[in-house]
Structure formats: C-alpha cells, structure tokens
Amino acid sequence: MIILLLNSSILGEAYKDKAKDFAEEARDTASEFAKNAKETFGSNDNQKLLAGIVALLFGGFGIHKFILGYTKEGATLLGVSIAGILLSCFGIGALFVWIPTVIGFVEGIIYLTKSDAEFYNTYQLGKKPWF
C-alpha cells in the first residue's frame, strides 16, 4: 500500500511537470500566433485586397475610401449615392446612383490589378484619392 502511494505521488509530480511544460509551450505558441496575426492583419496586402473587394461589392457607398483613409472622398461617394437614392423617384436620381457604383467598381478592379508595391506607393504613400 505504501509503495502504491509513493508511486502515485511520484507519477503525480511527473504529470505536473509535463502539464507545466505543455502550458509554457502553449503560451509561447499563442504569443507567436498573435504576433504573426498582427503582422498579417496590418500588412498592405490585406488593405489592398479588402479595399478592392469592398470597392467591387459596395463601391457606390465609398466604403473602400474609408478603409484607405480617404474620408472626404468616401463621404462624397456616400453623399452622391444617398442623394441618388432619394432622387430616384425622379429620372435624374438613377444617374446619381449609377455614377458612384461605376467609379467604385473601376477602382476595385484597379486596386486588385496593381502590384503590392505599386498599390502601397500610389494609394498609401502617395495618397492618390481617385483612380
């Protein structure tokens, strides 16, 4: 009986050590994953891809402009779209809705076809707001 108790206490210590080692390894892996996620999320590739896809899908509302930090241009597209929606009962409103949508679609294609370096230099360093 005493031998069994000694064996279980020795095994318990060994399992505690293994659990501590596993916890330290998991903590290191989690911190490395968080570091890599921050680098990936903050990279220019994601802004390019995100801005391009949003411009293709919701270009008329100027959301892609807000993503890139162009608040004036984004507000302009959003305002023209809202005015077009409000004026759509008149004939001229349809024109106001289509123009921002086409601009956003064209910009989305331009964003996605540029190389990463060219996109970064043109739209993030150069701050070119339109096309």
pLDDT of residue 94: 77
Q: Assign residue 43 a region: left if phi > 0, alpha if psi is -120 to 50, beta otherwise? A: beta
* pLDDT tens, position by position, 60-119: 899 999 999 999 999 999 999 998 888 887 777 777 788 889 999 999 999 999 988 888
pLDDT of residue 41: 46
1 pLDDT exceeds 60? Answer: no
pLDDT of residue 6: 46
* pLDDT tens, position by position, 11-34: 566 666 766 776 677 677 656 665
Question: For the whole model, what pTM was predicted?
Answer: 0.61
pLDDT of residue 92: 76
Class of residue 124 by CB neighbours under 10 A (exposed 0-12, middle 13-18, buried 19+): middle
- What string of H, E and C letters represents the secondary structure of 112-124? HHCCHHHHHHHHH
One-letter amino acid for residue 86 of the chain: L
